[in-house]
Amino acid sequence: MEVNVGDVVLPGDVIQAPNTNDKGKLILGPGLCRHMDEVLITTSGVLRKKGRNVYWVDSHRKRYVPVKGDTVVGVVVNRSGDTFKVDIGSSEQASLSYLAFEGATKKNRPDVQIGDIVFAKLLEASRDLEPELVCVDSYGKKGKLGVLPEGGFIFTCSLNLIRKILNPKCQMLKILGSEIPYDIAVGMNGKLWLKTKSIKETIAIVNAILTAEHLQHHEIASLCDDVINALKGM
């Protein structure tokens, strides 16, 4: 079945690609695959287009598949030799080397224990190899990565909700932050780490984020106002 941009698509559908862009490149994002001369859909969702030649399928996912370059929130579960094993919610545990921290050398080991939460970036992720994490960027600087402080709360949500709240168009994090002070680390693997001053505020923000799954951008602003008013009233 031939489909157009903005349609709900199922695996097996063929895209009607514009023929006038014969000289330019077509960039196929997640959910699309080239088969001989056609472009086939491989996941169910909504077909989207950005710019002139970037296409992808927006799909609803909960299970995380590691992708190179994603920043994720993980839990350290094991130490073996000079690497840590970190659980990021994917099919295999990821490895994080001792030396992948700011200012770490063979003699100066980083202070990471089993059970710590880390915010790290995926260095290598492939179908056939175990994922590799680093807590330092290519300049050797820590940035926002590294071990997260104690006293936070971790919860999971679906992957498209993560993409929605990280979208610059979504004002949720800003509106909540203007009234309630909080620290948040959003992992592309569906895990969020949140730290506020009291349990009430934590629960309020968690509920606000989870409820925003099915709301449009304009409805999210009124949801945030409701949550803030409810907290002030308590």
Partner 1 sequence: GQRLCLADKEHISGCGTYERNGYIYSTLAGVVNVVKEERSSIIEVHSSKGQGIIPAPGDIVTAKVTIVTQKFCKCVIKCIGDTVLTRPYRAIVRKEDVCATEKDKVEIIKSFRPGDIILGRVLPLTEVHTYHLSTAENELGVVIAYSESGVAMVPVSWTEMQCPKTYVKEPRKVAKVVPETVTVD
Stretch in the footprint of partner 1 (CB under 8 A) among 47-55, 112-120, 121-129, 161-169: 121-129
Residues 100-108: contacts with CB under 8 Å, at least 24 apart: 100/133, 100/134, 100/135, 100/136, 101/135, 101/136, 101/142, 101/146, 102/135, 102/136, 102/140, 102/141, 102/142, 102/146
As measured in angstroms, the least distance from the Cβ of 178 to partner 1 is 45
Q: Which residues contact 50 (CB under 8 A, 6 or more apart)?
A: 56
Alpha carbons 179 and 161: distance in angstroms, whole number: 22
Q: Does 36 bind partner 1 (CB under 8 A)?
A: yes
As measured in angstroms, the least distance from the Cβ of 121 to partner 1 is 17
Q: For residue 187, how far is the Cα from the chain centroid?
A: 4
Smaller CB separation from partner 1, 123 or 180: 123
Smaller CB separation from partner 1, 34 or 217: 34
The separation between the first and the last C-alpha atoms of the chain, rounded to the nearest angstrom, is: 55
Q: Does 127 bind partner 1 (CB under 8 A)?
A: yes
Binding mask 167-206 for partner 1 (x = CB under 8 A): ----------------------------------------
Alpha carbons 117 and 120: distance in angstroms, whole number: 10
User: Segment 5-34, which members bind partner 1 (CB under 8 A)?
Assistant: 33-34
As measured in angstroms, the least distance from the Cβ of 13 to partner 1 is 17
Among 7, 87, 116, 130, binds partner 1 (CB under 8 A): 130
Place of tokens 């009233």: 233
Among 2, 22, 111, 128, binds partner 1 (CB under 8 A): 128
Phi, psi angle pair for 132, to nearest 5°: -120, 130
Residues at the site binding partner 1, with contacts judged by CB under 8 A = 33-36, 124, 126-130, 132
